Structure 1
Amino acid sequence: MRVRFPQQPADRWALAAVVVSVLVGLYVRILEPVVEPVADAATYTKIASAFTLNPVTTTTSDWSVTGLAMRGVTYPLFVAMILTVFGSLSAVAWMQSIVVVPATVALLHLTGRRTFSPGTGALAAWMYALWLPAQIYTSLIMQETWLALLVTLLLFLLSRCITGGGWPWSVATGLLLAVLALSHAAFQFLGIALVVVLALHRWAFDRGRQRQTLVTALALLAVMVPSVLVRQATGLPQAYEGGHGVGSGGGWAFWIGTHADLHFREPSDGWKFGDITEEGEFARVLADVRSGALATDPHLTEIILSKADSEDLAHETLTDGDFYRAGFANLLDHPTAWPEKIAVGMSALTTIPPGISLYRTADSPAAVGAPWTLLAVLTFAAAFVAIVLLTLLRRPRLIMAAPFLLQLVVLLIARPENRYAIPLWTSCMLLAAVAVGYTRSALRHLVSAQRDPLPTVRIGVIVAAVALLATGVGHSAATPEPSGSLPQTRAQAELDRTRLRQIVFGSRDLPVPDVTWVADPSRSLPSSAVAVNSAEVQLRFGLGSTLIEYLPQSPTGCGLIVHGGHGSWQDAGGLQVAEDALDRGCRVIAADMPAAGVNRDQIAELNDGSRLALRQPDGLHGAFWSLDTPWRSSLDLFLAPVIAAVDRMAATTSDPVTVAGLSGGGWTASVAAALDPRIARSLNVSGSTVYVAGQPCPGDYEECLPTLYEEIPMQTIYTLSASGTEREAVQVLHYYDPCCYAGEQGSWAASVQQAVESIGAGGQYRLVVDRTKPGQHAYMDSSRSILDNWLS
């Protein structure tokens, strides 16, 4: 059997694009060998585990069947098949990188070649082959890569339908539309809409084939009608119907993007309404809404309160219809904000995070420093230009823009994330290639007939590429401003607090450390203490953090957490601060930073089996960078022990929890208070100022982590630490400090205090610049006076 090599130059170029796509996939897989399911990936792998011989997690068949019906059929089954054959999640990523993406590249070429020109197909194929974000996304084991293949296959079948293909192509198109509808909620109505568009197309340009549109519709209904009937008969959810214990539904996904006061960001507590399935869960939500502990928009609040008289309150829930009603009412309340919603949605779809850090806390190891967001914006712009050009010059091919436009409308109505753009990119790049083709044709007409235009075009392409790269380099070299603005409402503050928790702990909720407190008589007692207890907080990598608790002779109900810096908590006046609190009858818990004080000289057990010593001075700087992965930073090692200390204080004292820290402990006090509203008063002594992500940072690991400060600047952390009922945060800086943050500081203080006042509820933020006792990095009299006032 002879293998026919492509004869047309464009076909050979397209074949080269497929090969390059495979090579790019190999590059990503070699640099990202570890696959860790995040976000929805954990749900997909759990569903798939019930349908494979090599499950990666435990699950039940009933839950998985429900999940399959609700979250999409095809991708979990695809994952299950790969697990059965190869036995690992890494194999799923490999399959997506070297099979699914290259197959998508090949289909793009075939589609463009048949519908427009061989050159258009080849260019679209190369654009997607070189689109590194699509390949890096394959590491996440989420279904957008798979959906991109299905959407491109739809484009190919559609091209066959409008270029003389017979009824088998029409049947295949209808069946694929049904498969897409069963794969993801965003495609539930794509089939019906596209059949209508196809009917209009044939009525305008190809009336002789109108019967084939009916064939497409019948093929679609032949799958969808039995699917609906089977779901109804068996009690399974309809596609993306929430309230079944497998995640929030399509109505919820729409509702969370309808809040104009949050600039159409997701409410921080929005997830608490999304999948109410447990017995009595709705009653708890109802009670929290009534008390004000859980706030939402007026329309959903009204719907929740209207269900209070339900005869079966224990099994009541919020349906997709409830969320759609509340969401549309929210949008109708603010019609002037609709352009902002569109802008926010387009920004989400075109923004590629720095380092292509999709769903990670660090840059992807495979990332290449190109201006990806700029390229994304230009590609979308070119696609819209192509739609205009097709409308003016080639209307019979305008239908090829229908899948792109229909998907885009659905995403903009909901609340899109950047990952949702992956299935859009193939149709977007096909249209962009059309725009480039028309531009090339126009340039040919502008150049003299006696002169070969191709060198001019090549030069233009080279100049444009150099300009784009220069723009990217200049953008990365420029000094960025602190991202975002300070929260001005309670909802905005809670949204930022939730995001901070996700960055630090990887969860919306605070951790619940497993801690056992025991008497520890071997430790020396301050003069005002009668007993000492200790606890070991177990952390990742086999590390631990020791907390020491001192009990006062005459308890008064107050409590103080004293946090040390990069030495012992007792240094630089820390012990005196603790003794002052004990004299006032306060329980005291002392904590040190990782690799410092009682936590020094620990050994981290890494995932690859190697060991890393956390010693001074490496424990301050290099070691924690080494512990970071693309999926998670080491910030939880700093903050989880403080949360454990707050848990203890909240359970054993009656007064509000107070935290004081010096140097790195001051930074910890501010961030802990921002994370945990139970900390009513926080004192940050010489612990931090404001760091602008991207600028040189000579400080310690926790002071310089860009993945934190790019999203939640220190100004926002200060605001969160002080905002709330009867909360107060004081930041003390020493003008003559020999260590940290000396000189005139505090340009941020006025804006932080204004934000705290705007949020309301009586919170206070103060900045104190102490000009006494030059040459000391310690608790000054000003700091001790603040604590005396709080604890008295």
Structure 2
Amino acid sequence: MKSIDRARSIAVVPLLLIVSFSFAALADGPGDLESIDPSYYETDANSLIDIGSARDITAKRKALVRYIWMGESFPSGKLPGEVEENITDDRYADLFKTNLMRIDKITVNMDYGLSSISYHFLPRTSNGKLIVYHQGHRGDFVQGIDTIGAFLEKGFSVMAFSMPLLGMNNQPVVDLDRFGKFHLVKHDHMKLLKSPIRFFVEPIVVGINYGTKLNYDEIHMIGISGGGWTTTVCAAVDKRIRHSYPVAGTLPFYLRSNVQRDWGDYEQNLPDLYNIANYLELYVLGSFGEGRVQVQLLNKYDSCCFAGIRYRTYENTMKEVMRSLGKGKFEIFLDDSHKDHKISEESLKVVFKNEGL
């Protein structure tokens, strides 16, 4: 029996080594954060951008709208299902000590019973501008309270959103013809819905529709992580977003394949969407236009996603493309002030400087 047990243990050891090696590979980060793997330069970033004119941009934007809303038009006329004014939420009590006047609760109703709940933070002293704040996969937008407070202190109204199924947003049970009843609890589940990307983008579009009726002078957007991805996509399809600030939200695909944690949830790598407009093209769409700017903020030592300096493989290409188009600007800021996955004070300084503050 001892010899048999010994044989079993010997047989098991190589298997365990293989399994542990596989998991280590899956968890691999970007490696050296001070240099760029030469293989990344084998992709010519310029060759990936199939945009040479304003007409090309209009065509790509229309194609994105057709895809996201399945042939329906851009929902510029849709308004929130409910706006509850002057609500109480003790989590934000400290903001009233600065420049917060009141909070309105906005509910956007969508297909499949999905709903999005956002807060509209209104300042006592306003600069006439609205900024949309979007939280990422970590959950409720209360996690961005410091960022929300910083914008309020500068006189911005802030409309804050969480990603679908997260925060105060619901997780409905849907009855699907081909699959039966199904409880939506994570983003990968949304693959089973028709036009799932719609549920990431439509709440922001509806919020902006509502904000437009309030006659804000300008509308901008900032988001962290999955909210940075949302900022990138929304700025590409909705040109009413004048200045966009995606933070630690995306990198082009050719810079992700060797870093598992940068691959992202399914919405970040949906082939049908990115065959219409890849990430570099989304950056162009979000930047193009009179007075429009996109500043991509990346954390050099980010504990989650998109760390390092790989962006340098496309930074100059993006600037050259925007110069040739003649309207709009794209910039990148590398934040090396911390090692977290967040919007730091340094990044906010860059944003406020761009806003002339």
Aligned-pair identity (%): 25
**Is contact 2:87-2:105 (8 Å) kept?**
no
Is 1:562 matched up with 2:159?
A: no
Is 1:723 matched up with 2:295?
A: no
CA distance in 1, matches of 2:250, 2:130: 24
For 1:120-135, what aligned pairs fall within 5 Å after superposition? Answer: none
Partner of 2:58: 494
Structure 1 segments, 4+ long, off by >4 Å, are 479-484, 692-697
AA of the residue aligned to 1:701: Y
Partner of 1:767: 332
Residue 522 (structure 1) shift: 3.1
**Is contact 1:486-1:755 (8 Å) kept?**
no
CA distance in 1, matches of 2:284, 2:235: 10
Residue 726 (structure 1) shift: 0.3
CA distance in 2, matches of 1:480, 1:769: 22
Higher RCO (C-alpha 8 Å, min separation 6): 2
For 1:46-125, what aligned pairs fall within 5 Å after superposition? Answer: none
For 1:291-690, what aligned pairs fall within 5 Å after superposition? Answer: 485-507=49-71, 509-511=73-75, 512-515=77-80, 516-524=82-90, 525=92, 526-527=95-96, 528-566=99-137, 567-571=139-143, 574-599=144-169, 601-608=171-178, 610-615=180-185, 619-620=186-187, 622-627=188-193, 632-690=194-252
AA of the residue aligned to 1:770: D
**In proportion to residue count, which structure has more strand?**
2
Residue 670 (structure 1) shift: 1.0
CA distance in 2, matches of 1:508, 1:764: 30
CA distance in 1, matches of 2:255, 2:352: 36
Residue 667 (structure 1) shift: 0.6
CA distance in 2, matches of 1:694, 1:584: 36
**Is contact 2:115-2:170 (8 Å) kept?**
no
**Is contact 1:543-1:604 (8 Å) kept?**
no
AA of the residue aligned to 2:68: V
Ranges in structure 2 where 5+ consecutive residues have no aligned partner:
1-41
AA of the residue aligned to 2:126: P
Q: Secondary structure at the match of 1:560?
A: strand
**Is contact 2:162-2:169 (8 Å) kept?**
yes
Which of these residues, 272, 282, 291, is aligned with residue 707 of structure 1? Answer: 272
Deviation string for 1:128-152 (max 9, x for gaps)?
Answer: xxxxxxxxxxxxxxxxxxxxxxxxx
The TM-score with structure 2 as length reference comes to: 0.78
Deviation string for 1:31-83 (max 9, x for gaps)?
Answer: xxxxxxxxxxxxxxxxxxxxxxxxxxxxxxxxxxxxxxxxxxxxxxxxxxxxx
Ranges in structure 1 where 5+ consecutive residues have no aligned partner:
1-478
AA of the residue aligned to 1:689: L
CA distance in 1, matches of 2:126, 2:175: 41
CA distance in 2, matches of 1:651, 1:735: 39
Residue 612 (structure 1) shift: 2.2
Deviation string for 1:319-364 (max 9, x for gaps)?
Answer: xxxxxxxxxxxxxxxxxxxxxxxxxxxxxxxxxxxxxxxxxxxxxx
Q: Secondary structure at the match of 1:556?
A: coil
**Is contact 2:79-2:209 (8 Å) kept?**
no
How many correspondences in the alignment?
A: 302
Residue 715 (structure 1) shift: 0.2
**In proportion to residue count, which structure has more helix?**
1
For 1:730-745, what aligned pairs fall within 5 Å after superposition? Answer: 730-745=295-310
Cα distance change of structure 1 residues 791 and 537 upon mapping to structure 2, 3 Å threshold:
farther
CA distance in 1, matches of 2:245, 2:253: 19
Deviation string for 1:65-118 (max 9, x for gaps)?
Answer: xxxxxxxxxxxxxxxxxxxxxxxxxxxxxxxxxxxxxxxxxxxxxxxxxxxxxx
AA of the residue aligned to 2:159: I
Q: Secondary structure at the match of 2:242?
A: strand
Partner of 2:38: none
Residue 791 (structure 1) shift: 6.8
CA distance in 1, matches of 2:104, 2:344: 28
**Is contact 1:560-1:658 (8 Å) kept?**
yes
CA distance in 1, matches of 2:330, 2:256: 27
**Is contact 1:581-1:791 (8 Å) kept?**
no
Deviation string for 1:222-249 (max 9, x for gaps)?
Answer: xxxxxxxxxxxxxxxxxxxxxxxxxxxx
**Is contact 1:682-1:729 (8 Å) kept?**
yes
**Is contact 1:680-1:726 (8 Å) kept?**
yes
AA of the residue aligned to 1:754: E
